[in-house]
C-alpha cells in the first residue's frame, strides 16, 4: 500500500504511486474502488493515474474492468529474452517434457521468492497453480530449495519468515528437519518437494550454474502423487541433474 508518508526518493512519489496501481491490478484489483482499497490512494489520484496508465498501454480497460495492458506484455517479453537463461534452457525443457510427460519448470530467485520464467505443463494429472511470472516461497518448493543450495546461512531466516506467514505449512518445530533435508540436498545437488507446497504435488529439482559457477536458476519436474511415488523421484535424480548440467554447460559452466 502506498500512503502519503511512504518512503520514496524525492520527486519519485508519482512514479511509486503509478507502480502501486499497476501492481494492484496485477493482483486482481479490477475497478477504481478496489484500487483505492489496495493502494491507499485517494480516489481522484487513483483515477488520474489509471487514465495515464491506460493511455500509455500499461493498463487496459475492458468489460471485466482493468487488466494489464499490451505495453507490459511487450516489456515483459523483452525482459525475458534479455536474460539468456530462458532461451538457452528452452530446448532442454522441451526435451525433458516430451520424455517424461510431467510438468517442467524453470525458475530463478527473486529476493525471498521463486520467480517462474518458464513452464511446460504435463500431459497427465492435475494442473498446478504455478505459472510464468508467478512467485512462490523458496523454502516450500523444489526449485526454491535448489536455488538455496549455496546459501546455508539463509536457510533458518527464510524458513522462519515463511513459517510466520503460513504457520500451518511451516511450523517452527520443523526447522531442524528442514535444515537436515537441505544438507542432504547439498550433497546430492538435487532438491525434492514432497508435497511441501501443494497437497498431492511432488517434484525433483536441480540447480543451474553459469560460467563462474554461480547458482543462477533451477529446473524441476513435477507431477501428482500417483505419477511421482518415492521410487520414481529417486529415479529422476540423474535425469533432472543431467538436464540442469546441460543448461549450465550452455551458459559456460564447466564441471571439474
- The 10s digit of each residue's pLDDT in 195-226 is 888 888 999 999 999 988 999 999 999 999 99
- Tell me which fold the domain 83-250 belongs to: Beta-Lactamase (3.30.450)
CA 128/CA 228 separation, integer angstroms: 14
Distances (CA, A) of 228 to 32, 94, 164, 222, 252: 45, 19, 30, 8, 32
Q: What is the pTM of this model?
A: 0.71
Say if residues 251 and 208 touch (Cβ distance below 8 Å).
Answer: yes
72-83: average pLDDT? 72
Q: Using 50, 70 and 90 to split pLDDT, how confident is the model at 82?
A: low
Q: Which CATH number fits domain 13-75: 2.60.120.10, 3.40.50.9100, 3.40.50.300, 1.10.10.10?
A: 1.10.10.10
CA dist list (Å): 151 to 144, 209, 241:
11, 14, 19
pLDDT of residue 10: 59
Lowest-pLDDT choice from 58-72, 107-121, 238-252: 58-72
* Whole-number Å distance between alpha carbons of 230 and 202: 9
Q: What is the pLDDT of residue 171?
A: 52
Note the pLDDT of residue 4. Answer: 46
For the chain, the residue count is 256
Q: Give percent of the chain with pLDDT exceeding 90.
A: 64
Q: Which segments of the chain belong to CATH 3.30.450.40?
A: 83-250
Give the pLDDT confidence of 128-142 residue by residue, as tens digits: 778 888 899 999 999
Give the integer Cα–Cα distance in Å for 244 and 30.
Answer: 39
| pLDDT band of 34, cuts 50, 70, 90 | very high
Mean pLDDT value across residues 98-119: 94
Q: Where in the chain is the domain with CATH 1.10.10.10?
A: 13-75
Alpha carbon distance 227, 215 (integer Å): 29
Contact 53, 69 (CB under 8 A): yes
Mean pLDDT of the chain: 88
In this predicted structure, what is the pLDDT of residue 75?
82
pLDDT at residue number 62? 82
Amino acid at each position: 500500500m502506498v500512503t502519503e508518508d511512504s518512503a520514496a526518493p524525492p520527486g519519485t512519489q508519482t512514479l511509486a504511486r503509478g507502480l502501486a496501481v499497476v501492481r494492484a491490478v496485477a493482483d486482481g484489483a479490477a475497478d477504481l474502488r478496489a484500487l483505492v482499497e489496495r493502494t491507499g490512494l485517494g480516489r481522484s489520484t487513483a483515477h488520474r493515474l489509471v487514465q495515464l496508465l491506460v493511455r500509455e498501454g500499461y493498463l487496459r480497460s475492458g468489460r471485466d474492468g482493468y487488466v494489464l495492458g499490451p505495453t507490459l506484455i511487450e516489456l515483459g517479453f523483452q525482459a525475458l529474452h534479455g536474460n539468456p537463461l530462458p532461451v538457452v534452457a528452452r530446448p532442454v525443457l522441451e526435451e525433458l517434457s516430451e520424455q517424461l510427460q510431467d510438468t517442467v519448470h524453470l525458475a530463478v530467485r527473486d529476493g525471498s521468492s521463486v520467480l517462474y520464467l518458464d513452464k511446460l505443463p504435463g500431459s497427465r494429472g492435475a494442473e498446478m497453480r504455478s505459472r510464468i511470472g508467478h512467485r512462490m516461497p523458496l523454502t516450500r518448493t523444489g526449485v526454491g530449495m535448489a536455488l538455496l543450495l549455496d546459501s546455508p546461512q539463509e536457510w533458518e531466516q527464510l524458513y522462519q519468515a515463511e513459517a510466520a506467514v503460513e504457520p500451518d505449512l511451516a511450523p517452527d518445530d520443523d526447522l531442524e528437519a528442514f535444515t537436515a533435508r537441505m544438507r542432504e540436498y547439498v550433497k546430492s545437488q538435487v532438491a525434492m518437494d514432497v508435497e511441501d507446497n501443494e497437497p498431492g504435488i511432488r517434484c525433483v529439482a536441480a540447480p543451474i550454474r553459469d560460467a563462474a559457477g554461480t547458482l543462477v536458476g533451477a529446473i524441476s519436474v513435477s507431477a501428482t502423487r500417483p505419477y511421482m511415488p518415492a521410487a520414481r523421484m529417486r529415479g529422476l535424480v540423474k535425469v533432472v541433474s543431467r538436464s540442469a548440467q546441460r543448461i549450465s554447460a550452455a551458459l559456460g559452466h564447466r564441471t571439474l
